[in-house]
Structure 1
């Protein structure tokens, strides 16, 4: 059986395919569209189990097109926390967490609000015609935030976006395109690092370079890999979160009305958006280093395991009416940012950006509506991301 949800290009088709896949059980042996045989784990309890199992491990060499990449390029892009296991993971997370703190994220709130307001001004100036919500708002907001946080606000964004899109969707790219994008990204990041080493400026990148834990620090490959991860994952997932949230609201006017009437619901609404239409489809694939029982299935040692987040978040064994959007929903936490030791370090920042982005959007454009309400936006094929290509809207 070939797993097709990842290549479906509308939300309806994608979630229907996920539901059909999950209907026969929470653990499935399938061949991905990439040709790789894997165990897809789709149930909520089962996904939590494998994400916290010490016998399901990461490998920094298990990356797209690794067989076409020089070893030094693999090391320069994948020696980060998401590809590491304890004790390396513990060490890397401790070092990065020392500078990427919740206090630092919380201090960004006024600046995120300013960026949001400026982008909404530009959308308002576009007039009565339809505008692309992604190009005008949900992409520039997180890319501005993450580049300012890291300390590279002058980043060549068009070039970076092209490289980033190729890298994070490596499974659907050619080896030639992927290697070229990764090489360009690494060259750009290394140049940034050298500039910050010469002239530290108190930003996140300067602090990552300087961070110490006793005699320990990030190696050059770990530093480069971490910055690549922050730049790419630090904006791509938030683009999808903001876009999918806005689309969900515009397709559910009764939920939009609730949020318009009570802005205190925004934090709970963001959690529901994360559950209802998760911005990420799977965690980075891992392998079993011993036989692992998941539900009624024993996954042999050495097999690839892929936890699927949208199906876990719509598991009827965990959520009542899981296919319905309910911004007042209570109960089990969503798994949109993963679980266990690899739970996303940037989750607080993504949530903060989403809360500000949605709140400001509703304040500024109470008549916001879809420009093509009867047409589903195109979703791009991807193993990792659950995002749209564009979202045309009218602001008044």
Structure 2
């Protein structure tokens, strides 16, 4: 791994699913001093990414209501409005634009800022901080630590402001939970804010850009985006399956010996469930490397499995559906402005993010 430590990589669908749901494959153990590390600067203890049930369940329950399908449905008109506003700014006369910076990232950034109560004007600041937090090898350990400290300091100031002048947003509600009971410590409050902010737009923005790139590389382009809700849902799930959010799953460390696919993994070992590989397992998905917009095979693992199944999955799915529909409706002939082979992934990050996606909007 980037830290120099070794890990077991699990690649088949059923084995990855088993690892993700096995309580012996622990997230909390990844932050123990003696545990193998993914990077030189691991995630902090006390957050959703580094807890196991029942502590993880307690923390997750404090924010889960903000991401239920019902709450996401209530947010839909606002997400549609934000989509339309961003598309209004794109050139309608055949101009070239980088869709990543003009659409794919501004949309989820705005949505999560409004949901949490983070000033949108500060988006460029926490975007730079976020890059270092999701870094594998793109930043030095010193840069990763410095950026994390800056973001933590920013969030502490923001939470203090929420305490002085609470509003109708999720961070204000979490401050009230912290101040009103012992359900949330100060460290957990700050770590929760950091986790929701970074995860709330990094993954969705990256997947949205990759999804559009996938569509534009296939005959039909955005014409593949259907009007029918059911068909649109199938398309989004296939785009999630074929475009992994990251190259592997979040790191886990075994708290007891575990046998996977006939291999005995000792206690204290790092284990990575390779979701990108699981989602292309030919025993589960026929023609796994082929993008099939109408695929209705077994459920993919893009959002994980088990207790750590992605909290924001309903919001991410809704944003992808709304964004792709709006983009296809407004710019049905959208096309790549450069050969597909010139498009590059940003190297050295936990997420698979395009550096740029230059398109012709006419």
TM range (shorter): over 0.9
Q: Secondary structure at the match of 1:287?
A: strand
Q: Secondary structure at the match of 1:253?
A: coil
Q: 1:367 to 1:254 in 2, by over 3 A?
A: closer
Q: 1:242 to 1:325 in 2, by over 3 A?
A: same
Unpaired runs of 5+ in structure 2? 32-36
Aligned to 1:159: 125
Q: Tell me if 1:193 matches 2:163.
A: no
The match for 1:90 among 57, 69, 72 is 57
Q: Tell me if 1:103 matches 2:70.
A: yes
The match for 1:240 among 182, 189, 206 is 206
Counterparts of residues 248-259 of structure 1 (less than 5 Å): 248-254=214-220, 256-259=222-225
Q: 1:53 to 1:374 in 2, by over 3 A?
A: closer
| TM-score relative to the length of structure 1 | 0.85
Q: Deviations over 1:93-116 (max 9, x none)?
A: 122224544332221111111111
Segment of structure 1 superposing worse, 252-261 or 364-373: 252-261
Counterparts of residues 255-270 of structure 1 (less than 5 Å): 256-260=222-226, 264-270=230-236
Q: Tell me if 1:148 matches 2:114.
A: yes
Q: Secondary structure at the match of 2:88?
A: helix
Q: Secondary structure at the match of 1:79?
A: coil
Aligned to 1:370: 336
Aligned to 2:34: none
- Displacement of 1:371: 0.6
Q: Tell me if 1:43 matches 2:9.
A: no
Q: Deviations over 1:89-144 (max 9, x none)?
A: 1211122224544332221111111111011111136x433110101000100001
- Displacement of 1:384: 2.0
Contact 1:34/1:171 (8 A) holds in 2: no
Q: Deviations over 1:32-51 (max 9, x none)?
A: 35422111111111110000
Aligned to 1:23: none
Q: Secondary structure at the match of 1:211?
A: helix
CA distance, structure 1, for counterparts of residue 65 and residue 320 of structure 2 = 24
CA distance, structure 2, for counterparts of residue 284 and residue 259 of structure 1 = 31
Over aligned residues, Cα RMSD in angstroms? 2.1
Contact 1:144/1:153 (8 A) holds in 2: no
- Displacement of 1:300: 1.0
Q: Tell me if 1:379 matches 2:359.
A: no
| TM-score relative to the length of structure 2 | 0.92
Q: Secondary structure at the match of 1:354?
A: helix
Q: Secondary structure at the match of 1:273?
A: helix
Q: Secondary structure at the match of 2:166?
A: coil
Number of aligned residue pairs: give it. Answer: 356
Segment of structure 1 superposing worse, 255-264 or 93-102: 255-264
Q: Secondary structure at the match of 1:306?
A: strand
